[in-house]
Structure 1
Amino acid sequence: MQLDLNLLAALDALLEEGSVAGAAARLHVTAPAMSRSLGRIRRTTGDQILVRTGRTMTPTPYAVAVRQQVHELLHQVRGVLAPSRELDLATLERTFTLRWHDSLVALSGAPLLSAVREQAPGVRLRFVAESSVDTPGLRRGEVDLEANANRPSAPDIRAEEVGRTRLVIVVRQGHPLTRAGTVTARQYASAEHVTVSRRGNLTNALDEALAPHGLTRRAVASVPTEAAALEFVRGSDLLVSVPEATARQAVADLGLAVLPLPPELPSASAPVYLSWHQRYDTDHAHAWLRGLARTALALDGAAP
């Protein structure tokens, strides 16, 4: 049987108004059109719905029994086909999954959670580790938001640069570069480096910045997290280049030194991209979380 949802609206109006004329006025249709709808409803249900009693119409026992159910069904259908534009944060209950770079979780995760809990105490956040390979988590709906230095290329993934994080050099206290004053590009390139990469990459954007100067650097190791890289640096003459906010937060406890990058590399910075699947473009709760995430990620000391 093929059902017409318009009949549900007509039935609701007929039961509420108790007359064809009243239901027609309610739905802004003509009385003959409403009479035809009543006829179709009668044929579909096998019930008269409204019967004449003198000069008025009286609902049948079946009509009385289903009146509330019809009203609730119509409300549900309208909610599905025309979702509310309002978001009640006080009653929102939802769990969001975020795949962010380790340093962004450490620097911006807590401020984000604090803002979320203040506005929507029923919302929970799941921060999951980045993978060493590309994953379809956003497409599959397994991940709500990603934040890292990579701009996705897939056409169905939205990506927004929310800042650029300044990079600095981290070395042990007493490292030869700490006595050099301003570190030159040549001194920087001639040192031995450890890189931070989930994928084991020994090169990154800094190598591209050195290339126009005819310089290359030697990375002797690659580690998956900045915390591991700082431990490598702590006991050697290696250096690592990390976001400034990460460095200043971590080095005080580890006895490390922070140095600026060579002035010849003014553009040496790491972008921060916030990414999500296009299915969430009009999801009001998701849009709310994206707004809070932008604010939280801006706290990491990103340059404008």
Structure 2
Amino acid sequence: MAKDPLLVRAGQTMVPTPRALALRDEAAAVVRRLDALLSPGGDTDLSTLRTTFTLQAADLVGAALAPGLLRRAGQEAPGISFRILAEELEAGPALRDGRIDLEVGSIDHVDPETQVEELVTLRMMAAVRPGHPLAGEPLTLVRLAAAEHVVVSRRGRFTGPLDTALAERNLHRRVTAVLPSHLAAMALAAGGDVVCLVPAALPGSPESPLTRTATALGLRLLDISLPLPPLTIGMAWHPRQAADGAHRWLRDAVRRTLHAPEAT
């Protein structure tokens, strides 16, 4: 049986058949649905969205992010939940295959297709408890080197950029503990006489959310008169999620949280 034609010739032109006219509204609805599916995602209804985002971040970054993300989700997208993983996965493959949605931290190795945005640049400061011998007098490099230090390293390394800078001045510090966690190192410094390094805002900038834990623990932050390399915190994601409306909200929420001078 021949299929009903959609167009027939009428003189020098083609005109729609009744069948074509009947399908017109249905076809228009299909086109609208396809357009919504393929659009950049700007029309995502965050109020009805139900999803969980998985982020990978160091413990200090996760502690800085979690309050702001939860607060913004509660106000703007109450159906969103967050899973924050430790830095245990190779970010490139994990982003590519969807095991994580976003990496936040010091992005020092990425696959060519990975998209990266730098968020904030910080400096390293010495953190000590209020009664520490270094807290009462100006911090000199000799006194800094003579103090006991705790180092944060997931690989168990005892040295870092501070040791390199001190060595150039014939100074060497004593590292008495190496811990894999920034939060554990700050807790150790808050309860004893060791020095730990804490990332803080550049001079003249608002307080970084990354220093709020140190402030909450009562630690005092001391300037180090050495040209230590700055720490840049960024976020990385796979390009397949670049235009997704929900993921765009996530990236914006991370951006606003790390730029926020104080909790609101």
Shift of 1:236: 4.0
Q: What is the 5 A alignment of 1:182-201?
A: 182-201=138-157
Deviations along 1:152-172, whole A, 9 cap, x unmatched? 332122222211234332234
TM-score by length of 1: 0.67
Pairwise CA distance, 1:223: 0.8
Matched, 1:296 2:257: yes
Q: What is the CA-CA distance between 1:297 and the residue it aligns to?
A: 0.9
1:85 is displaced (CA, Å) by 4.6
Counterpart for residue 273 of structure 1: 234
Matched, 1:143 2:100: yes
* CA contact 2:161–2:228 (8 Å) conserved in 1: no
Q: CA deviation at 1:83?
A: 5.7
How many residues are matched? 247
Pair 1:251–1:120, CA change in 2 (3 A): closer
Q: TM-score, normalised by structure 2?
A: 0.75
Aligned counterparts of 2:40 and 2:106: Cα–Cα separation in 1: 34
Q: More helix per residue: 1 or 2? A: 1
Distance, in Å, in 1 between the alignment partners of 2:214 and 2:34 is 54
Name the residue aligned to 1:241.
Answer: 197
Please say which of residues 192-201 and 203-212 is displaced more in the overlay: 203-212
Q: Is the 8 A contact 2:40 2:244 kept in 1?
A: no
Contact 2:124 2:228 in 1 (8 A): no
CA–CA distance in structure 2, aligned partners of residues 20 and 210 of structure 1:
87
Moved more, 281-290 or 76-85: 76-85
Residue in 2 that maps onto 1:258: 220
* Alignment partners' CA distance in 1, 2:241 and 2:45: 17
> Which position in structure 1 is the counterpart of 2:185?
229
% identical aligned pairs? 34
Structure 2: where are the runs of 5+ without partners?
201-210
Distance across 1 between alignment mates of 2:260 and 2:32: 43
Q: Unpaired segments of 5 or more residues in structure 1?
A: 1-9, 23-29, 36-49, 51-56
**8 Å Cα contact 1:103/1:246 also seen in 2:** no
Cα offsets for 1:27-72 (capped at 9, x unmatched):
xxx954x78xxxxxxxxxxxxxx6xxxxxx4x59xx98x9987666
- Quote the Cα distance in structure 1 between the aligned partners of 2:38 and 2:260: 39
Residue among 175, 183, 202 paired with 1:219: 175
